[in-house]
């Protein structure tokens, strides 16, 4: 462990006074370098530190307060420090785009590198080229002239000068004038406006229109989107308050239907909102990416059909009747999610493998296949796992509903529901949902083609972000660094990571809400698609958690794609409410080497609560949970279909990676209703050792856990060494009711 300070500022480890003086000298020297840099830089070198506040990662950290972002924050008293006694170690910065580099300035803490190199890479993963190396590092502040081009730059330490690790106060990087970014980006030449129209792909209906006119438009879009699984078209239907009759709104891919009332009863559909699977002969396992929200439905037959798979939320809906969750022939189905809703009749899941319902009221529920989970649902069936496979929690520990668009006499607004604890039932059945309202004029209304620079300017101005339907290509990071910012997508607005960018990152701030977005990996590897909080985030956000709601992350399917970790949650107290993190098993670019991705969800924050985790097919751990105090209610997983062999998919003497891994360092964690399935199509002889891997600790508790083999390959145990083998000869769940 490197020398550190307690809260009084005194060393926990006794060190000579000379070392303290040396640290102070280094701080002064760094400050002088920052001030004097314009005159000390080479004539051809720019004067702006292009690494300042850019995304930084590292091989390790000694402690959360010594995270890599501290080396690029411009603060001469904060620092990054690696773990003790390890070689090699590195710190890496994503500059956002390839730049012609000319100088690096490193301000070392006393734990410096004797031997190190400065390397660059196009993607941060491969092809590293050394621009400078030394075996006689001096420590202090080193100003290094170099020449080369790269987007990612790292300091790679190979020999330490002390018995500790590597530590530096600042890692400054300078580029030639052509690569130097403008210090102030003003894409429109002035202040960005709030509000504006929602674009051509938002289709608004009002009660004065004839039913035939509305139905014709609904049918037109459905005909286009029914089979359009990986297309680029995106649509949002909005219904103004009032009553509509004679409609059947069939929803295809990337289509959302929402009411514009403040509450669901304000929009009444006397007809049906339908998802069926005729396009796949009744197989609903690929009915992804569609949604319904904030309206009332009066089904013609008394039963509404919602035969969906993943990423198809049913929110804030008042169903005056029952629901069925599969096609008429009860074909295969793999959903699904309901929240903040009321269904007066019976819900029949029929062939649904699993389903999650949260904070709602239902008339009754009929049947169960493998994993039906209810949290805070009034009228839910009683706990009975594993026979039938029903997990029921009376309340949800801490929740916040998704922000939603509505309209009043003055135009569009966004409502932000309040935080609830130990909640049950829908938020609106006894009056208006509690919360706050934002005018559309407080939002920057984004349309495809907008740059990250413009979006960052909007956030800096104090605007929230509303993404209209479409596909957005971003080649640098959108930084949500202002507390309580709302980022809301309509109609499955899709953000594509170009050139290896991390497209969106949240600061260590209160109350950010990110909802209704689909993130797509690009062809160049990105470190993540969404990162909630910087590495080492330490803020207490329990009073105003960050919220991730109906956020979907995709690696492949629409084309070859790469990412290291799809979603990374570093901020403490974050609420994750319904995600589907999916490494594609079909579509374009689906293959072990053509859409590589390590992990679907990494949780580093403390006291993170997750509802409705759907995470599938990643090549290492699907979920890796490193933070203490975590809770998960409902998890659905398929292990990757395509490991080339058991040997290629093994680590530490274990065949396969667990679907859900709780780190050995974790001392408290609890989870309910978790299922993991295997179908190893490339090598059916693979026998994964287990799907759940957790430390054996009385405060690490798992309830109602299962594995299933879907006919190819097997899973030897359910959790650690506990549970019987799921074999391909029998497609039945193998369960553990409680662990330990």
Q: For residues 231-257, give the mean pLDDT.
A: 98
230 close to 558: Cβ distance less than 8 angstroms: yes
For range 281-305, the mean pLDDT: 98
Mean pLDDT value across residues 91-101: 88
- Rounded distance, CA 665 to CA 662, Å? 8
Residues 163 and 51 in one domain: yes
Is residue 20 scored above 60 in pLDDT? no
Residue pLDDT, tens place only, 441-490: 999 999 999 999 999 999 999 999 999 999 999 999 999 999 999 999 99
Q: Report the C-alpha gap between 478 and 459 in whole angstroms.
A: 9
Integer angstrom CA distances of residue 432 from 159, 263, 264, 403, 623: 63, 7, 10, 14, 36
Query: Does residue 565 share a domain with residue 522?
Result: yes
Q: What is the pLDDT of residue 187?
A: 42
Cα end-to-end span (Å), the chain: 33
Q: Measured in whole angstroms, how far is the alpha carbon of residue 379 from the centre of its chain?
A: 31
Lowest mean pLDDT among 67-76, 153-162, 275-284, 553-562: 67-76
Q: CATH number for the domain including 120?
A: 2.60.120.260
Indicate whether 31 pLDDT > 50: no
**429 in a structural domain:** no
Residues 672 and 724 in one domain: yes
Strand spans (E) along 275-378:
290-297, 303-305, 314-319, 322-324, 337-339, 342-348, 354-358, 361-365, 371-375
Residue 316 has pLDDT above 50, yes or no: yes
Q: Which of 678, 688, 674 is nearest to 736 (CA)?
A: 674
Domain boundary at 324, 341, 358, which?
Answer: 341
Q: Are both 511 and 556 inside the same structural domain?
A: yes
* 440 alpha-carbon distance from chain centroid: 25
Residue 414, phi then psi, degrees to nearest 5: -120, 125
Question: Which candidate in 170, 293, 638, 693 is catalytic?
Answer: 638
Judge whether 689 lies within some domain. Answer: yes
Between the CA of residue 392 and those of 313, 325, 380, what are the distances in Å?
A: 20, 19, 7
When pLDDT is averaged across residues 290-307 and rounded to a whole number, the result is 98
**490 touches 467 (CB < 8 A):** yes
CATH of the domain at 554: 2.160.20.10
DSSP string covering 226-265: TT-TT-S--EEEEE-SEEEEEEEEE--TTEEEEE-SSSGG
- Judge whether 512 and 537 are in contact, CB under 8 Å: no
For residue range 218-242, what is the model confidence (pLDDT) as tens digits? 999 999 999 999 999 999 999 999 9
Give domain status of residue 361, yes or no: no
Residues 228 and 137 in one domain: no
Domain shared by 138 and 238, yes or no: no
Tell me, yes or no, whether 36 and 167 share the same domain.
yes
Whether residue 729 is predicted with pLDDT greater than 70 in this model: the reply is: yes
Query: How many percent of the chain have pLDDT more than 70?
Result: 92
610 lies in the same domain as 696: no
Q: Give the range of the structural domain holding residue 665, as residue numbers without chain letter.
A: 639-740
Task: State the total domains in the chain.
Answer: 4
Least confident range from 143-147, 411-415, 697-701: namely 143-147
- Judged by average pLDDT, the poorest of 52-56, 433-437, 650-654 is 52-56
Query: Is 426 domain-assigned?
Result: no
Whether residue 316 contacts residue 340, with contact meaning beta carbons closer than 8 Å, is answered with yes
DSSP three-state, residue 488: strand
Pair (585, 696) in one structural domain:
no
Residues 254 and 281 reside in one and the same domain = yes
Q: What is the per-residue pLDDT for 529?
A: 98
Q: Is 679 part of a structural domain of the chain?
A: yes
Asked if the model's pLDDT at residue 252 lies above 60, the reply is yes
pLDDT score, position 60: 85
- Tens of pLDDT, residues 100-123: 999 999 999 999 999 999 999 887
Is 192 a member of any domain?
A: no
| 293 part of the active site | no
Neighbours of 43 (CB within 10 A): 5
Beta bridge partners of 671: 632, 702
Q: Is the pLDDT of residue 180 over 90?
A: no
Residues 692 and 740 in one domain: yes
d(C-alpha 581, C-alpha 555), whole Å: 8
On whether residue 88 sits in a domain, the answer given is yes
Q: What contacts 441, CB < 8 A, 6 or more positions away?
A: 194, 195
Within 391-485, residue ranges assigned H as helices are 452-461
Asked, for residue 551, whether it belongs to a domain, the answer is yes
The mean pLDDT of 519-541, rounded to a whole number, is 97
Residues 159 and 25 both lie in one domain: yes
Q: How confident is the model at residue 22 (pLDDT cuts 50, 70, 90)?
A: very low
Omega of the bond leading into 11 within 30 degrees of 0 (cis): no
Average pLDDT, the chain: 91
Q: How confident is the model over 348-405, as pLDDT tens digits?
A: 999 999 999 999 999 999 999 999 999 999 999 999 999 999 999 999 999 999 999 9
């Amino acid at each position: 462990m490197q020398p550190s300070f307690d809260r009084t500022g005194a060393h926990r480890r006794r060190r000579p006074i000379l070392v303290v003086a040396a640290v102070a000298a280094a701080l002064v020297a760094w400050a002088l370098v920052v001030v004097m840099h314009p005159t000390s830089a080479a004539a051809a070198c720019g004067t702006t530190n292009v690494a300042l506040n850019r995304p930084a990662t590292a091989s390790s950290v000694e402690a959360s307060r010594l995270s890599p972002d501290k080396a690029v924050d411009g603060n001469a008293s904060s620092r990054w420090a690696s773990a003790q006694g390890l070689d090699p170690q590195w710190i890496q910065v994503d500059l956002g785009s390839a730049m012609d580099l000319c100088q690096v300035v490193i301000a070392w803490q006393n734990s410096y590198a004797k031997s190190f190199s400065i390397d660059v890479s196009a993607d941060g993963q491969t092809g590293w080229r050394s621009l400078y190396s030394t075996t006689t590092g001096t420590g202090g502040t080193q100003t290094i002239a170099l020449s080369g081009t790269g987007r990612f730059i790292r300091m790679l330490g190979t020999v330490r000068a002390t018995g500790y690790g590597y530590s530096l106060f600042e890692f400054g990087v300078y580029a030639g004038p052509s690569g130097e970014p403008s210090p102030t980006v003003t894409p429109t030449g002035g202040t960005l406006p709030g509000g504006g129209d929602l674009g051509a792909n938002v289709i608004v209906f009002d009660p004065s229109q004839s039913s035939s006119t509305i139905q014709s438009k609904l049918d037109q879009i459905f005909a286009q989107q029914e089979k359009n699984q990986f297309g680029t078209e995106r649509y949002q239907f909005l219904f103004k308050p009032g009553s509509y009759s004679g409609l059947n709104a069939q929803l295809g891919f990337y289509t959302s239907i929402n009411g514009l009332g403040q509450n669901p009863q304000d929009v009444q559909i006397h007809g049906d909102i339908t998802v069926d699977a005729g396009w796949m002969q009744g197989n609903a396992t690929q009915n992804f990416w569609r949604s319904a929200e904030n309206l009332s439905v009066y089904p013609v037959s008394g039963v509404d059909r919602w035969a969906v798979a993943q990423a198809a939320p049913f929110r804030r809906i008042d169903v005056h009747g029952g629901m069925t969750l599969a096609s008429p022939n009860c074909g295969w189905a793999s959903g699904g999610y309901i929240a903040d809703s009321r269904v007066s009749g019976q819900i029949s899941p029929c062939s649904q493998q699993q389903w999650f319902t949260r904070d709602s009221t239902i008339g009754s529920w009929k049947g169960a296949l493998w994993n039906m989970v209810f949290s805070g649902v009034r009228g839910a069936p009683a706990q009975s796992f594993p026979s039938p496979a029903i997990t029921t929690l009376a309340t949800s520990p801490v929740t916040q509903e998704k922000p939603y668009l509505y309209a009043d006499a003055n135009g569009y607004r966004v409502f932000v529901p309040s935080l609830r604890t130990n909640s049950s039932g829908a938020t609106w059945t006894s009056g208006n949902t509690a919360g706050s309202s934002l005018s559309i004029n407080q939002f920057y209304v984004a349309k495809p083609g907008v740059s990250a620079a413009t979006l960052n300017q909007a956030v800096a101005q104090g605007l929230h972000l509303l993404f209209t339907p479409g596909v957005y290509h971003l080649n640098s990071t959108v930084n949500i660094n202002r507390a309580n910012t709302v980022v809301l997508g309509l109609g499955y607005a899709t953000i594509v990571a170009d050139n290896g960018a991390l497209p969106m990152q949240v600061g260590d701030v209160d109350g950010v809400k990110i909802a209704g977005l689909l993130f797509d990996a690009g062809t160049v590897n990105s470190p993540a698609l969404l990162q909630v909080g910087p590495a080492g985030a330490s803020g207490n956000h329990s009073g105003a958690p960050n919220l991730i709601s109906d956020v979907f992350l995709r690696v492949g399917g629409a084309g070859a794609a790469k990412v290291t970790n799809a979603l990374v949650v570093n901020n403490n107290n974050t609420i994750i409410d319904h995600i589907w993190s999916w490494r594609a098993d079909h579509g374009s670019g689906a293959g072990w080497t053509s859409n590589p991705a390590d992990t679907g969800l990494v949780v580093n924050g403390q006291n993170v609560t997750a509802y409705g985790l759907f995470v599938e097919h990643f090549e290492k751990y699907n979920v890796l949970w490193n933070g203490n105090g975590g809770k998960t209610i409902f998890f659905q997983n398929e292990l990757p279909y395509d490991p080339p062999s058991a040997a290629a998919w093994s680590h530490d003497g274990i065949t396969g990676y667990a679907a859900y891994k709780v780190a050995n360092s974790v001392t408290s964690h609890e989870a309910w209703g978790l299922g993991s399935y295997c179908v190893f199509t490339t090598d059916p002889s693979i026998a994964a050792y287990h799907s759940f891997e957790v430390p054996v600790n009385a405060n690490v508790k798992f309830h109602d856990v299962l594995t299933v083999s879907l006919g190819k390959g097997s899973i030897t145990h359910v959790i650690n060494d506990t549970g019987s083998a799921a074999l391909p000869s029998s497609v039945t769940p193998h369960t553990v009711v409680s662990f330990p």
